[in-house]
Amino acid sequence: MIEPLRELTDDDARRLIVGFETNEVYRFTKSETRERTELVFELVEKPFEKRFPLPAMMIGYYRGVLSGGLCFKAVEDDAFVGITIADTQWNGIAIVWELHVDAAYRRRGIGRSLLDAVEDAARSKGLRMVSIEVQSTNVPALDFYRACGYEVGAIDAAFYSNDDVAKGEIDVFMRKAL
């Protein structure tokens, strides 16, 4: 069952927002001249594991957006098993910062249901689009978002640090018009 997320404990946040593993990543290359800029993501085989550090400041930020009506949780058998944290931007876009489902509950439609709840809430608020922030290394998430009708709408080659390109972790915003 999907329901509004009204409170978030440190324990729940750290239990659900953990990271990912993959055997493929997107390699980013950029070439730029005055006449042409070319950005390329190429799928390559490369084992990759990411664990999300979740500082108190970030959890505090997430708590601050709970009242916006775009955050939801999934509950199965009285257990909190999925989460989505989203906020509204100035330009009429709902931005999803986190969407996670406990590993034991994946492949049951919970992630899609959480995303549907965000989309429905965004529509009811008159927003024009949903954007999801995801890393170029998180190929399973990128595949999931594409299957839900999202496409690459923007990238930021310095979102996480000034060394994102060298580290191979580029921020990708997957977008879907409402």
User: Which contacts qualify for 140-149: CB closer than 8 Å, 24 or more apart?
Assistant: 140/20, 140/22, 141/20, 141/99, 142/26, 142/172, 142/174, 144/111, 145/174, 146/174, 148/112, 148/115, 148/176, 149/176
* Mean pLDDT within 152-174: 92
Alpha-carbon gap, residue 75 to 36, rounded angstroms: 49
Residue pLDDT, tens place only, 39-95? 999 999 999 999 988 999 999 999 999 999 999 999 999 999 999 999 999 999 999
Mean pLDDT of the chain: 95
pLDDT score, position 164: 87
**Domains of the chain in sequence order:** 2-177 (3.40.630.30)
How long, in residues, is the chain? Answer: 178
pLDDT at residue 96 greater than cutoff 90: yes
The model's pTM: 0.93
* Mean pLDDT within 135-144: 96
pLDDT at residue 7 greater than cutoff 90: yes
pLDDT score, position 53: 86
Alpha-carbon gap, residue 123 to 74, rounded angstroms: 20
* Mean pLDDT within 16-26: 95
pLDDT score, position 103: 92
